Amino acid sequence: MRRLFFYIKMAVQNLVNNRRFYLPYSLCCIGTAAMYYIMSDIATNKSLDFERGAEYVKMMMGIGIFVLSIFSVFIICYANSFIIRRRRRELGLYNILGMEKRHIAILMLFETVLLGSGCLIAGLAAGMLFSKLTLLVLAQILRFGVPMGFEISISGICMTTAEFGMIFLICLVANIFNVFRSSPIELLHSVSKGEREPKARILLTLFGFVTLGGGYAIALTVKDALSALLLFFVAVLLVIFGTYALFTAGSIAILKLLRKNKRLYYRIGPFTAISGLIYRMKQNAVGLANICILSTMVLVTISTTVSLYSGMEDIIQTQYPFEIETSLNMRNVDTDEPASPELMEQFYHAAVDTAESCAEVSDIKSFVNLSFTATRLQPGVFSVDTMNYVDTNLGSVMSFGVIPVSDYNRMSGQSVTLAADEVLSYNNTGEHYDTIQLNDMQFSVAENLTEFPLNNREALVSMINSQYIVVADQSVVDAIYTMQCQAYAERASDMLYTIGLELEGDAETKIAAFEDVVSEISELMRENEFFNTLMLSRQTNYDDLYAMYGSFLFLGIFLGMVFTMAAVLIIYYKQVSEGYDDRERFVIMQKVGMDTHTVKKSIGTQVLMVFFLPLLVAGVHVVVAFPMVSRMLQLFALNNTGLFGICTLITFLIFALVYVIVYLLTARTYYKIVGDAGSPIKAIGR
């Protein structure tokens, strides 16, 4: 009993004495545990189940929990290994003073149990405290109804306890293994191990340049969204390899090269800076590369998710140009019989009249359109042929749209008349044609348009260019339709009579109107044994999209916070270990005659360079990744590069601000450690 009490007392004392290490460690554990609890709470929360898109949210949280659980293992184990390295001397002393290794193991068990349970309880408490707040924020982002009440998630508690119990167990086992493996003498002296000067590793440096260059080249040269998506992970891996290689080997190679320049090197600033940095980089390269990669991840994740979320209106406008959009297939699917003008008339009224009876209709567009894929062989020459897909690049595949001039006139408020072989041409590439050839059909271009009343959704969504022609009348559309049907057989596009409506009113009205239109048109189609192919409502998709991109954003910010926390922890521990190492150097330099001011300046510059290098490199990574990521965002129908640019810039600025604050806070610890040796008399006095 007394022995138990002794162990507990000693464990507590050790934790308190090493609070400089354990405090940030505990904060990190508490933070990750709280976030883990919050995520698992949301993933299992039943109050969200009634909302549209709740399944997206839960899926996203599932992904988040997965990432978080792996990440927290790494970050806590990293912090633990750092602490145990710093404590080896202390443990060695216990060993020499008569504690057997098993006693030390028991002591460490007590420490782990005390600290672990403390962190877990605090983490769960913080998690419960903030889960409601997080849920409210999430509801706001997702435009969900505000969930009422406060409940404690039992499954969240269980999951968090299991995860963190396992992590602490891993750390304990690693620590015990570490102590049992080394002799007391090794333990005693391991902190002050003589550091060898790092070798300049030319091959690794070259490898770093090649991989980083390769990654950058991919990011900068990728032309279309699909290849961007395919090559993104290759580029990311290359850049990660390159970053690690260049931080570890490249930095040292460059510094050594600088040292070769005697005139430059043998001056006060460079002399201490270069030689100091060589050592700093050796000890810190991996940590700094970690910070750099983490920062890049945070920046990319947050800027993309913020862009997606704030570009949601754009995305929705692209994908849903009308509040209600419905299309009639102008051929009977079974009999291939064309739709009669009466049916089209009925269809129009079924849509428009029903909508008008439910809500105020502010805009009506109706038009016949045919849209199919064509290959642009050369300017003005398009081919409709399945074979062309095989050996052409994606850039020349186009969405080719055809509408009759009467519909064009109605929508654009003009009164153009065209001869049978005349067309108006519009494309998003800005090319102007005199003639347009479509297989063996020849048209002369009456006018090249710069504006067009329709968006080509297929082209925008699938990231290909679009070409529209306005033709003389329905018979030309029919002719092109027939030609296209022969070329593509069963993969041919339908000719559609589309009605697009804009409605005024709130979400419920719009959804109700849409549902009425759907049932009315279904009725009409059933009567006529016809099938309409398309019924789209912007409003119903709004909620789904908000749920989806909102949970992207939430996850992005949440994980961004976790990554930032990890980066902060690494920075802190780096500052502390740097502090202890620099302390001796600081003292010696002062003894040799460098004044306090110069020493402080020199060390300050080095620390600044070391800690802001990762941020700088992360910034470069983000800039280079920008074109590639913005191409990938096009897959999510976000075409607003300017918006993405602004989001990225703001994210970077905020992150840099956080980084600077963290640096300043941790630098205080650093200077406190070094400052113990600040005045020469304390330094020299034994």
Partner 1 sequence: MALLTISHLQKIYVTRLGGAQVEALHNVNFSVEDGEYVAIMGESGSGKTTLLNILAALDRPTSGKVDLNGVELSSLPERQLSAFRRDNLGFVFQDFNLLDTFTLGDNILLPLVLQGVKYREMEERLIPIVEMLGIADLIKKYPYEVSGGQKQRAAVARALITNPQLILADEPTGALDSRATDSLLRLFEKINRSGQTIVMVTHSVRAASMAKRVLFLRDGEIYHQLYRGSLSSEEMFSRISDTLTLVGSAVREDAKPEEGQGL
SS3 content of the chain, % helix, strand, coil (to 5): 70, 10, 20
680 binds partner 1 (CB under 8 A): yes
Binding mask 593-632 for partner 1 (x = CB under 8 A): xxxxxx----------------------------------
Cα 392 from Cα 438, distance rounded (Å): 17
668 binds partner 1 (CB under 8 A): no
592 binds partner 1 (CB under 8 A): yes
**Stretch of 32-40, 310-318, 518-526, 586-594 lying at the interface with partner 1 (CB under 8 A):** 586-594
Rounded to a whole number of angstroms, the minimum distance from the CB of residue 276 to partner 1 is 6
Rounded to a whole number of angstroms, the minimum distance from the CB of residue 613 to partner 1 is 18
Rounded to a whole number of angstroms, the minimum distance from the CB of residue 92 to partner 1 is 21
**Stretch of 116-124, 363-371, 572-580, 587-595 lying at the interface with partner 1 (CB under 8 A):** 587-595
Rounded to a whole number of angstroms, the minimum distance from the CB of residue 131 to partner 1 is 47
Residues of this chain, 224-263, that bind partner 1 according to CB under 8 A: 262-263
- Four-CA torsion 221, 227, 229, 232, nearest 10 degrees: -40
* Contacts of 681 by beta carbon, 8 Å cutoff, 6+ apart: none
CA angle 423, 427, 433 (to 5 degrees): 55
Crossing angle of helices 101-142 and 54-96, in 10° steps, is: 160
Complex with partner 1: residue 105 or 594, whichever CB lies closer: 594
649 binds partner 1 (CB under 8 A): no
580 binds partner 1 (CB under 8 A): no
64 binds partner 1 (CB under 8 A): no
CA angle 265, 290, 204 (to 5 degrees): 55
What amino acid occupies position 470?
V
Q: Which stretch of DSSP H or E encloses residue 378?
A: strand 361-378
Alpha helices in 97-152 (DSSP H): 101-142
Complex with partner 1: residue 446 or 603, whichever CB lies closer: 603
651 binds partner 1 (CB under 8 A): no
The secondary structure of residue 47, as a DSSP letter, is G
The residue behind tokens 């069963």 is 490
Complex with partner 1: residue 245 or 255, whichever CB lies closer: 255
Asked if 488 and 389 touch (Cβ cutoff 8 Å), the reply is: no
Rounded to a whole number of angstroms, the minimum distance from the CB of residue 610 to partner 1 is 14
Single residue of 129, 268, 333, 608 touching partner 1 by CB under 8 A: 268
**Stretch of 118-126, 155-163, 588-596, 642-650 lying at the interface with partner 1 (CB under 8 A):** 588-596
Rounded to a whole number of angstroms, the minimum distance from the CB of residue 609 to partner 1 is 15
Complex with partner 1: residue 279 or 563, whichever CB lies closer: 279
Single residue of 19, 181, 223, 591 touching partner 1 by CB under 8 A: 591
Single residue of 71, 209, 271, 612 touching partner 1 by CB under 8 A: 271
Specify burial of residue 291 (Cβ count, 10 A radius: 0-12, 13-18, 19+): buried
Single residue of 151, 197, 385, 434 touching partner 1 by CB under 8 A: 197
The residue behind tokens 């601000």 is 657
199 binds partner 1 (CB under 8 A): no
Cα 608 from Cα 663, distance rounded (Å): 9
> What do you get for the CA distance between the two ends of the chain, in Å?
42
Binding mask 272-311 for partner 1 (x = CB under 8 A): ---xx-xx--------------------------------
686 binds partner 1 (CB under 8 A): yes
488 binds partner 1 (CB under 8 A): no
7 binds partner 1 (CB under 8 A): no
664 binds partner 1 (CB under 8 A): no
Which tokens sit at 474?
């329905």
Rounded to a whole number of angstroms, the minimum distance from the CB of residue 265 to partner 1 is 8
Cα 649 from Cα 299, distance rounded (Å): 9
- Four-CA torsion 285, 290, 293, 295, nearest 10 degrees: -110
Cα 432 from Cα 440, distance rounded (Å): 20
Tell how strand 397-404 and strand 324-329 pair up. unpaired
Complex with partner 1: residue 308 or 587, whichever CB lies closer: 587
CA angle 206, 210, 213 (to 5 degrees): 135
Give DSSP secondary structure letters for 393-417. Answer: -GGGEEEEEEEEHHHHHHHHT----
Point out which residues bind partner 1 (CB under 8 A). Answer: 194-197, 262-263, 266-268, 271, 275-276, 278-279, 585, 587-598, 680-681, 684-686
